[in-house]
Amino acid sequence: MNPSFAIPRRRVLLGAALAAALWRPASALDRPQGRVVLTIGGLIGEKNAAARAEFDMAMLAALPQHSFSTRTPWYPAARKFTGPLLRDVLAAVGAKGQTLRAVALNDYKVTLPVEDCKRYPVVLARLMDDQPMPVRDKGPLFIIYPFDSDEALRSERYYSRSAWQLKHIEVE
Amino acid sequence: MEQPAAPGVAAAEGGEHPAGPGRWLSLIGLVLVLAFAGVAWVQSRALGLLNDTVSYQGDSLVWSFYQLEAETLRLRQVLDDLADHPQASGLEAVRDRYELFVSRISLIDPHRTRAVLSDLPRQAEVLAALQAFVQHADPLLAEGEGGARAGDARVWHDLVHRLDWLAAPMRELALQVNQAVGEQVTRRNEAVRLQNRLAIGLTVFQSLLTLAFAIIVMRQIRALHQRHHRLEQLAQHLQEARADAEQASRAKSAFLANMSHELRTPFNGLLGMLSLLEATPLEAQQRAHLATARESGRHLLALLNDVLDISTLESGRLEVHPHDVDLRGLVHDVAALMGTHARAKGLPLHCEVAPEVPQTLRADGKRLKQILFNLLGNAIKFTPGGEVRLEVAVRPAAGGAPERLALQVSDTGIGMDAATLARLFQRFSQGDASIQRRYGGTGLGLEISRSLARLMGGDIEVDSAPGQGSRFTVTIALERVQAPAEAAPPPSTAPVPAALSAEVLVTDDHPVNRSLMQAILQHLGHRVHLCENGAEAVEWLRQHRCDLVLMDVHMPVMDGLAATRAIRALPPPACDVPVIALTADAFDAARQRALEAGMNDFITKPVQVPVVVEALRRFVPRLAAAEDSSPRATQPVLQPEPGPAPGPGPTPTVAVSAAVPAFMPVSSPASSPMITSPAPAAPRPRLRVRRGEIAEWLDLEAIAEICVTVGLEGYRSLLAGLLAESSPALDELLRALDPAADPAAIRGAAHKFKGAVASLGLKRLAATAKAWELASAEAPLEAGQREQAAQALRDGFQHTRALCLRVGYLLA
C-alpha cells in the first residue's frame, strides 16, 4: 500500500460520509453517482458493484491528479494530459494481480504489466489540455506513459499499451 | 634512406625498396581508417532507418484504415437496426457507435500518413466525403431538440445509404494504403539489405586490410629477427677477430721482448769493441767517427731497453711486485746516484723528504727507482743551468681520494709549451723535433713511467711552461706498513772466511752477467767457476764438484732446463748439487717449468746481493751454520754502517750518514732547504776533474743499473773490493805482465780483470784491459810492451780509483 495514498482515501471517505452516510453503510469505495466511465474487474479487493469496481468521472477527479506534457504519435504537437496515476486507481480498488488487460470502447484489448505503473508515472488521463476528452477525440479515458521522459518509452511496445477510449481494466 | 622514422624497415628491405613497407603500412593504415569510417556511417544509417520505422509504426496505418472501415460497418449495422426497430436504446447505440466512428476518421488524417506515405490519390477525396458525412450526421445525432428521433426511419435509411456510398472509395483507399505500405516496407527492406551488404563488404575489406597489416608486421618482425641474428653473428665474428688481433699483438710484443733481449747481448759486444777501438792509437778524425758510432750504439741500446719495457707493457706483463720498501733509503740512493750525474753537468740536486713521509711503505721499490731515474735523468738532460729538485711529501686523503705519496721532480730547464705537454706521454714523442735532435732519447721512458705509476695506484702530473722549467709529480698509493719493531737484519754481505768459502758454478751466456755474478760471489768470499752454456756446465760437473750451481735459463747450445735435467741424470754425487735458476722471466709458469726440470729455486734478474746470500745460506748448509754461530761481530769494514735511524718526531728527514756523498744536498724541514756546495766532508785526494771526464771513465748508466740491482751500498762494497789499495785482481794481472811470467797467462788475466771492472761500470779501465787482452791474443807481448801495459793499467786503476773517491762511490 503506497503511503501517499492514505490522505486522499481519507478525503474520499470524508466526502462519502457527508454525502451519503445517512442512508447507506460506509463502504471503502463509493458507488458512482454519474455515468460510469471505467470498470475494473478481476483480482481486486474493493468493489462497489457485482464483482467489479465502477468509477464515474467525479470519482476519478477526486483522486490525486497528475499532469505532464508529452509528444505522442497521435497528435502532431505535444499535448498536456491530466488525470490520476494509474497506480492510485489500482490502489483504490485493491488490485492484486501482475498484469492488466485494458479494454477500449471498440473492444481493442491490450495487456500491460502492473510493473509499468510502479516504474513510470503512468497517468489515466481524463483531461487533455485541461479539457475533458470526448469519445470522438480518444476520450473519455486515455492511458498515457510519460514518453518524453525516457527514450525507452518511445517504442511500439509502449505506444500499443497506451489504450485510448478506455472503458475497462481487468486485473489478472 | 627516405624514412628516417623507420630506418629498420628500410634497412631490412635492402636497397631495392627503400620506402616499400613503410609506405604500404601508412597507406593501409589510412584505408583502414576510411573503412572504419564507412562502417560507422552504414551503422548510423541503419539506426536512423530503424528509428524511422519505429515512429511510423507508432500506430499501424493499415490497421487504422481497417478500423475505420470496421467502425463504418458497425455504424451501418446499428443504423440499419434502428431503422427496422425504432427504439431509444437503439438510438443510444447509434450515438455511441457514431462517436467511435468519428474518432477513427482522425487516424487517417494526412498529417500522420504523409510522414510515411506519399499522398494517396483517393485520400483527400475520401476524407472530404467522410467529413461531409460527419457534418450531415452530427446535427441528426445530437442529443436534445435538434436531433432526429428514433422513429425517423427515413433519416436512418438515408444515413445507411450514405455510408454504403462511402464504402467503395474507403475500400479502395484501404487497398491503396495497403499497397503503399507494402511498397514502403519493401523499399525499406531493400535499403536495409543494401546496407547490410555494404556493411558486410566493408567488414570483409576491413578484415583483408587487417590481414595485410598483420602480414606486413609479421614480415617486419621476421626481418628484425634476422637482423638481430646477423648482428649477433657479426658481434661474434668481431669478438673472434678481436681475440685474434689481441693474440697477434701479444705475439708481436713477446717477439719484441725476446728480440730486444737478444739484441742487447750483441750490442754490449759492439759497444765493447768500439771502446776497445777507442783505446788504440787513432787519428782525430777516426776518433770523432768512433765517438759518433759509440754514441749511436748507446742510443740504440737505450732505445732497445725502452722497447723491451714497452713490449712488456703491451703484452700486459708489466707488473709491480710490492714489498716493504725503505723509502727514505731508496730516495737517498737515487739522489746520491743522480747527484753524480747532475754534478757532472754542474747542476746541484736538492732533495727534500717531508717529515710525515714514512720510513717504510709497501711498494715496488725497483719500479719506483726506475721512475725516479727517468724523471731525474730527463730533468738533468733538459736543464742547461740552474738546479734540479726532488721533493717527497704525503698528500692527505681528500674528497674520496686515498692518501698518496707524491714525489716531485722539478727543474729550471727549458720547459715545455702546451702543445708539447699535450703529447708528452705519447709514444716516441719528445718535445718537438728540434728538441729530439738536440737532446736525443726515445720518449718511451715517460710512457713507461706513467704506466708504472698507474699500476701503483697513482699517476704522473706535469706542470711546465717554456723557459720556466718543468715539474713532474709522481703520485702512488701510499700503503703504510708497520715498521717491524725488530727488523730482521739483512743477510750479511760480508765475505765469508776462506774456510767456509763455497765453490759456485755460474752458467750464463751473457758476459756482463757472468762478470757481475763473479764479482758478487767473489766479493762474498766464494770461489767461482764460469760456464757459457748448459752443455759446458754439465761437462764441468762430470769432472768437478761444487756446492751450488747458478744457472741461466735461456742460453744457446743447451738451455738451463735441459742442463738441469742432464745434471740430475749424472751419477751421484754430481746429480745432487743444488741448482738455482737465474732468469729475467719472473712468471709463475716459468718458475713452475724450472722446478719441474729439477731446479731447487729461482732467482730473478737483475740479481740482488741479499737474495744471492740468502740462497747460498739455504743451499750450502755450512754457511748457515757458521752465520748462526758467529754473528755479525766479525763483519769487516766493507759492510757500511747504516746512518742514525730517523726516529719519530721532527728529526731530519734524510739520514745524513757517512755513506752519503757530501756533495749531495741534504735538507731538513727545520731549516730552509739549503744547497750545500760541494764541500768535502772527509779528506779527499785533490784531483782536478775535467768537465765530462767522469762520464768518460765511468759508465754512469751501467752503474745506475747496478745500483738499482744491489743498492748504492752494495755497489760501494763491490767497488771497494775491486779497487782496494792492493787489489788482488790488479795484482794478478800485473803478475801475469811480469816479464818473468808466462806470456800465455796474460790474456786470461786481462780478460778476467776486464770482466770484473766492466761489470762495475769502470769502462775506461775495462777498455784498457781489453785492448791489452786483444793485443796479447794477436802476438805474445814483448817485455817493453808488458811494462807499458802494466803502467797503463796502474795509471788507469789509480785514476779510476781517484774519480770514484771523488764522486763518492769509494769511501776514503
Query: How many Cβ atoms sit within 10 Å of the Cβ of residue A149?
Result: 12
Chain A residues with CB-CB distance to B106 below 8 A: 136-137
**Distance, CA of B167 to CA of B169 (rounded, Å):** 6
Q: Name the residue with cell 521522459.
A: A149
In terms of phi and psi (left: phi > 0; alpha: psi -120 to 50; beta: otherwise), the region of B167 is: alpha
pLDDT given at position B390: 92
Task: Retrieve residue B560's grid coordinates.
Answer: 738451463
Between A73, A135, A138, which is nearest B58 by CB? A73
Interface of B with A in 95-114 (CB under 8 A): 96, 99-100, 102-103, 106, 111-112
pLDDT given at position B665: 34
Between A106, A154, A156, which is nearest B100 by CB? A106
Query: What DSSP string runs through B676-725?
Result: --S--SS--------TTHHHHHS-HHHHHHHHHHHHHHHHHHHHHHHT-S
- List beta partners, residue B120: none
**Distance, CA of B493 to CA of B486 (rounded, Å):** 19
Q: Which of B467, B485, B269 is nearest to B382 (CA)?
A: B467
Per-residue burial over B30-61, b = 16 or more CB atoms within 10 Å of its CB, e = otherwise: ebbeebeebbeebeebbeeeeeeeeebbbbeb
Q: How far A161 CA lies from chain B's nearest CA (Å)?
A: 11
Chain A residue with minimal CA distance to B52? Answer: A155
CB contact under 8 Å between A155 and B54, yes or no, is yes
Q: Are A126 and A141 within 8 A, CB to CB?
A: yes
Q: Which of B770, B812, B686, B661 is nearest to B273 (CA)?
A: B770
CB contact under 8 Å between B99 and A136, yes or no, is yes
Quick one: DSSP state of residue B587? Answer: -
Gyration radius of chain B's alpha carbons: 60
Q: Which of B644, B635, B593, B633 is nearest to B613 (CA)?
A: B635
ipTM of this complex: 0.75
Instruction: State the Cα torsion B724-B730-B734-B737 to the nearest 10°.
Output: -170
In terms of phi and psi (left: phi > 0; alpha: psi -120 to 50; beta: otherwise), the region of B570 is: beta
Interface of B with A in 464-493 (CB under 8 A): none
- List beta partners, residue A41: A52, A170
Residues in Cβ contact with A120 at an 8 Å cutoff, skipping those fewer than 6 apart: A145, A146, A149, A150, A153
**Distance, CA of B23 to CA of B27 (rounded, Å):** 6
Between A73, A76, A135, which is nearest B99 by CB? A135
Between A105, A136, A156, which is nearest B54 by CB? A156
pLDDT given at position B764: 87
Chain A residues with CB-CB distance to B54 below 8 A: 154-156
Between A73, A106, A136, which is nearest B55 by CB? A73
Chain A residues with CB-CB distance to B96 below 8 A: 105, 135
B803: three-class secondary structure by DSSP: helix
CB contact under 8 Å between B71 and A137, yes or no, is no
Task: Retrieve residue B356's grid coordinates.
Answer: 710525515
Residues of chain B with pLDDT under 50: 1-18, 58-59, 431, 436-437, 440, 485-490, 630-685
pLDDT given at position B673: 36
Gyration radius of chain A's alpha carbons: 16
Between A74, A105, A156, which is nearest B100 by CB? A105
**Distance, CA of B316 to CA of B247 (rounded, Å):** 12
Burial of A55 (0-12, 13-18, 19+ CB in 10 A): buried
Quick one: DSSP state of residue A142? Answer: E
Q: How far B152 CA lies from chain A's nearest CA (Å)?
A: 24
| Residues of A contacting chain B (CB within 8 angstroms) | 73-74, 76, 105-106, 134-138, 154-156, 159, 165
Task: Retrieve residue B65's grid coordinates.
Answer: 484504415
Cis ω before B673 (30° cut-off from 0): no
Q: Are B310 and B452 within 8 A, CB to CB?
A: no
Query: What DSSP string runs through A1-68?
Result: --GGGHHHHHHHHHHHHHHHTTTS---SSPPPSS-EEEEEEESBS--SBTTEEEEEHHHHHHSPEEEE
Instruction: State the Cα torsion A78-A83-A86-A92 to the nearest 10°.
Output: 180
Q: Is B135 on the interface with A (CB under 8 A)?
A: no
Q: Are B733 and B769 within 8 A, CB to CB?
A: yes
Between A73, A136, A156, which is nearest B103 by CB? A136
Query: How many Cβ atoms sit within 10 Å of the Cβ of residue B651?
Result: 15
CB contact under 8 Å between B58 and A105, yes or no, is no
Per-residue burial over B546-557, b = 16 or more CB atoms within 10 Å of its CB, e = otherwise: bbbbbbbbbbee
Query: What DSSP string runs through A50-116?
Result: TTEEEEEHHHHHHSPEEEEEE--TTSSS-EEEEEEBHHHHHHHTTB--SEEEEEETT--EEEEEHHH
- The residue among A72, A106, A142, A153 with the most chain B CBs within 10 A of its CB, best to mutate, is A106
Residues in Cβ contact with B549 at an 8 Å cutoff, skipping those fewer than 6 apart: B504, B505, B507, B537, B541, B567, B577, B578, B579, B580
pLDDT given at position B588: 63
Between A73, A105, A165, which is nearest B59 by CB? A73
CB contact under 8 Å between B96 and A156, yes or no, is no
pLDDT given at position B114: 64
Q: Name the residue with cell 479487493.
A: A45
pLDDT given at position B666: 34
Helix or strand holding residue B391 (H, E): strand B388-395
Helix or strand holding residue B218 (H, E): helix B153-279
pLDDT given at position B638: 34
Quick one: DSSP state of residue B575? Answer: G
- List beta partners, residue A148: none
CB contact under 8 Å between B99 and A106, yes or no, is no
CB contact under 8 Å between A138 and B55, yes or no, is no
Q: Are B94 and B151 within 8 A, CB to CB?
A: no
**Residues B470, B475, B479: CA angle, nearest 5 degrees:** 155
Q: Which of B518, B533, B516, B526 is nearest to B606 (CA)?
A: B516
pLDDT tens digit at each of 172 positions of chain A: 444 444 455 555 555 444 444 444 334 678 888 888 899 988 888 888 888 889 888 888 888 999 999 988 888 888 999 999 998 888 888 888 899 999 998 888 899 999 988 899 999 999 999 999 888 888 889 999 998 888 888 888 888 888 889 999 999 8
Q: How far B184 CA lies from chain A's nearest CA (Å)?
A: 18
pLDDT given at position B655: 31
Task: Retrieve residue B75's grid coordinates.
Answer: 455504424
